[in-house]
A and B are shown apart, each in its own frame.
Chain A
Amino acid sequence: MLDAPVDAEVKARREADLRRAWETPKGWRYWSAVNNTEVGVWYSLTAFFFMLCAGVLALLMRIQLAVPDNDFLSADRFNQFFTMHGSAMMFLFAVPMFEAVSILILPAFLGARDMPFPRLSAYGYWSFLIGGIFVLGSILFNVAPSSGWFMYPPLATEQEGIGPDIWLLGLSFIEVASIAAAVELIVGTIKCRPPGMRINLMPLYAWYVLVVGVMILFAFPPLIAGDFLFELQRSMDWPFFDPDRGGDPLLWQHLFWIFGHPEVYIVFLPSIAIAAMIVPTAAQRPMVGYSWIVLSAVGVGFLSFGLWVHHMFTTGLPSLSLGFFSAASEAVVIPTGVQIFAFVATLMVGRVTMSQPMLWIAGALAIFTAGGLTGVMVAIAPFDWQVHDTYFIVAHLHYTLFGGMVFPIIGGIYYFYPFITKKKMSDRLSRWAFWLTFSGFNICFLPMHLTGLQGMPRRVVTYPEAAGWDVLNMVSTLGSFIVAAGILVFAWDLLRPKGRQPLTERNPWNAGTLEWSHDVPEEAWGVRSVPYISSRYPLWEQPKFLERFDDGKFYIPDAPEGKRETIVTSAVDAVPQAVVQVTGPAWVTLWAAAFTGGAFILPVFKFYWLSAFSGVCAVACVIYWLWTSTAQVPKTPMRDAGLGLRLPVYVTGPKAPGWWAVFITMLGDATAFASLVFGVFFFWTARPDFPPEGAALPDMMWALLALLAFVVAWGATVAARELNRGGRQGVARWCIVGAVVATLAALGGMWLAIVLPGLQPETHAFPAVMYALTVWTSAHCVLAVVMLLYCLAGSVFGKLTQLYDADLRNTTLFWHFMCLSGVITTLLVGVAPRLM
């Protein structure tokens, strides 16, 4: 069948259909595009711009530190600069850059037309843009946060002005966008692989994306929970971190670093994933030790969650506890080292060509290894006690992040540039950029090890001449400007007009992976036909691959109904399951992002009602978007997918990407909730007065009634799903109504349990945390009611039927989590305080 010739006329017609379906909007409508190739480019350029801004802040700080007793910057401005430098590099560059690059190239690795939820990517991008400008822009008004990128209380909770609020709310907003992108990337990797691409054939990049996506789900929510508590303290004076009223500043440090340490690996793994794609191409042979790299990615993913306390070695925790984290920090070296050895082994057995990208990867490996070695040193608690908060740490972290992130990303941009723009970057400029950045980096940061060992603390605005740190600081400052020159050369090469330059050849590096089957000149359809994969390097190992691919001999080479579609396959063996429609250009995503931004940003200025209104508008936008474009009842239930395969166009339950998206989102949400629960137990162990003696305890009876109502609501939702599937829509609708009533009852019961006994959240951390749990679960109750009503409306208006019940299945899945968190909340509020 694959060798049967395709009629030229049929081929031309199919291409025209596809081109029309995937056409990028023109003119000002261009900004309504949601295609991964557009959104990915905007996303990465925005992240790069934020990186340049944060880099400028670093240069200004280096000028200030070049000579002793300098007064180039005031102390307050210096504080704002180092806070924003760290925050922007982490939240506005490193993590978003991973998401941007993945959105841009992952579908191509997987031979998919697009990401599973293009509008979600667009929504994430616009949220990121709005949040990023808001956070970074604050520096221009001299109101930026200034307590360091980790915002330790009590300094940050007591700080005057709106700086900490900008940090908390602005970055929470961006974290939500990051989680949205993580959901997208995980579902993309699990459900949108091409037929035949079993899990043992998946490109290594996809493995890393999967691991990092899951890490984001477990790492970001604790910070969101921390931000939630922090902002409640800032705006409502609930004393979670105030030791005078039963709080504890260390809780913030725990929540921050449970996020913050995995974050380092969240930044590092995707960058090393790019190296894992470049190395086999440079060596012109398959990667040595595929299973070992998977071991390494997955192992690092797990172990990186056991390291957070190594940022807190000096906080006076029991030394036994410090020992666990020190040991885990040393253990993580094993999987990290394994992947580097696998790269080196691949290069050793291959025939290496030192191409532009490979030069950057080689630099990355050298610098990262140096950073890793100092990491092994600071993971030992007594050594850390000596160098904690000195420039030694600054040197260490920049070695790991430059080597582990900046160099591989730049290498990756050189590598993928022909894929993205169909043009090449300059060989000569690349070498200039590399050697300037590489030598400048070492001139800047190598001396800092010594500066630190000589005792210079981090985050000081200046130092006296007598300290003897002046020569080293001057060298570092010179080095920093050499780095800046290198980055500028790179930026010029990246952005310079290339109109007259010829188009690149199709596979300029002679790589073996799917993305190099791209079309030159560009086509917006992603892939001409979704291929059947039987090898890890199809372009090297599958005979006649490109010819068949271009002739549209594989799956869905057409768009008969003019819809944007992609193939959904099973999670492990990539057996085709459906051809699903993906969403096209829309303005509603932009509106949704703008209103979500309003909901997060307006509270900074105490406009609480406007913020609530903006939140309601955001929800309305999202409902409109879901109602009009997702889980539509199809006109024809099956579609001819090519190669003699007929597939359904609507799937529901665990086969559907939407079900996975809900499941994954809820895992993240459950992690945030677990962080709040951790908070309760943390207070219990850290404070002798939790709950304080003689304090009012929440009412047990109302809490238990609420618990019962949660279980009833859950049961009614499950019953509605089953009855609907059994064809009894009428009864199913009444079950949904019952579930709504029970949810509202649970909501009321929870509040009565804490309000009736007279708990005052401002007085002590105990009532405050009881209130916080109730607020959290109440917000979820509201969401649950909205989802149930959405299903009810769907059932009444024919969007949700016996066969096409994806919305109800997803709502039920949400309810499994909702019920669990409702039960835990009510037990923690109603029963646990009586046992503590």
Chain B
Amino acid sequence: MTEETPFRHESIWHMVAAPTVWTLHFAIIYAITAVECSKIGTPEVARLSILVLTVVALALIGWIAWKAWVQWDYPDDQDYVHDKPTVEDRREFLGHAGFLLSIASAIGVIFVAMPALFIETCL
């Protein structure tokens, strides 16, 4: 029985989804902080929004990581080299790289959000 190959199996866009979430998270929290600090002077709303956005971003990245993990399919054949000229190796490679990028992006999101935990002023 043949099933239609899902687009994500041959998509670089899915591979870079997690760092894209990092980028959006970064840009939005930077913008929110810049606007609130210049227009209001204290970052309360910004800090709260950063908390919410960080949870959302991490949830999204977690979901992307899970999909990538399933696509990588590591427990099945424990392949992490993917150097064969086959559809399977290409699918697993894109999943593997996407999974690794999710981890790096999650760390990036946590790092970037941390200052908002400790810094309470715009000064």
Write the residues of chain A forming the contact surface with B, with a CB cutoff of 8 angstroms. Answer: 196, 198-201, 286, 290-292, 294-295, 298-299, 302-303, 305-306, 318-324, 326-328, 330-331, 334-335, 533-536, 571-573, 685-686
Contacts and interface: CB of A to CB of B under 8 A. Distances in A.
Given A318-B43, A320-B33, A303 B108 contact: yes
Contacts, number: 131
A186 B96 CA distance: 23
A298 B85 contact: no
Interface string B99-113: 011001101100110
B51 interface: no
Residue in B16, B33, B85, B93 with the greatest tally of chain A CB atoms within 10 Å: B85
A298 B19 contact: yes
A200 B107 CA distance: 25
Interface residues of B, number: 49
A229 B121 CA distance: 33
Contacts of A290: 81-83, 93
Contacts of A200: 82-83, 89-90, 93-94
Given A305-B23, A324-B29, A572-B12, A685 B39 contact: yes
Closest 10 CB pairs between A and B?
A: A323-B115, A200-B93, A302-B19, A534-B85, A295-B100, A327-B111, A318-B122, A318-B37, A685-B38, A331-B111
Nearest to A685: B38
Given A291-B82, A299-B19, 5 more contacts: A302-B20, A320-B122, A322-B115, A328-B112, A331-B108
B115 A320 contact: yes
B53 interface: no
A819 B73 CA distance: 43
B57 interface: no
B34 A321 contact: yes
Given A295-B101, A303-B108, A572 B10 contact: yes
A328 B93 contact: no
A319 B123 contact: yes
B74 to A, nearest CB: 11
B119 interface: yes
A298 B22 CA distance: 13
A334 B105 CA distance: 10
A329 B101 CA distance: 17
Contact of A201 (B10, B85, B122): B85
Contacts of A330: 111
B94 A536 contact: no
Interface of B: 10-12, 15-16, 19-20, 22-23, 26, 29-30, 33-35, 37-39, 43, 46-47, 80-83, 85, 87, 89-90, 93-94, 96-97, 100-101, 104-105, 107-108, 111-112, 114-116, 118-119, 121-123
B37 A320 contact: yes
B114 A201 contact: no
A400 B104 CA distance: 22
A228 B104 CA distance: 36
A235 B105 CA distance: 44
Contacts of A535: 83, 85
Contacts of B47: 320
Contact of A321 (B30, B93, B97): B30
Contact of A319 (B46, B101, B121): B121
A295 B97 contact: yes
A595 B63 CA distance: 53
Residue in B20, B87, B108, B116 with the greatest tally of chain A CB atoms within 10 Å: B108
A320 B46 contact: yes
16 contacts: A198-B89, A201-B85, A286-B83, A291-B80, A291-B97, A299-B104, A302-B20, A306-B26, A306-B112, A318-B123, A319-B123, A323-B119, A324-B26, A334-B104, A535-B85, A685-B34
Given A200-B83, A573-B90, A685-B35, A291 B115 contact: no
B90 A572 contact: yes
A444 B47 CA distance: 45
B98 to A, nearest CB: 9
A327 B90 CA distance: 34
Residue in B23, B43, B119 with the greatest tally of chain A CB atoms within 10 Å: B119
A290 B92 CA distance: 13
A535 B83 CA distance: 7
Residue in A196, A320, A321, A334 with the greatest tally of chain B CB atoms within 10 Å: A320
A772 to B, nearest CB: 21
Contacts of B81: 290
B90 to A, nearest CB: 5
A536 B22 CA distance: 31
A465 B20 CA distance: 53
Residue in B29, B100, B116 with the greatest tally of chain A CB atoms within 10 Å: B100
A346 to B, nearest CB: 13
B35 to A, nearest CB: 5
Contacts of B93: 199-200, 290-291
B116 A298 contact: no
B35 A295 contact: no
A302 B107 contact: no
Contacts of B85: 196, 198, 201, 533-535
Nearest to A332: B108
Contacts of B114: 323, 327
A416 B87 CA distance: 33
Given A299-B19, A306-B26, A686-B38, A324 B33 contact: yes
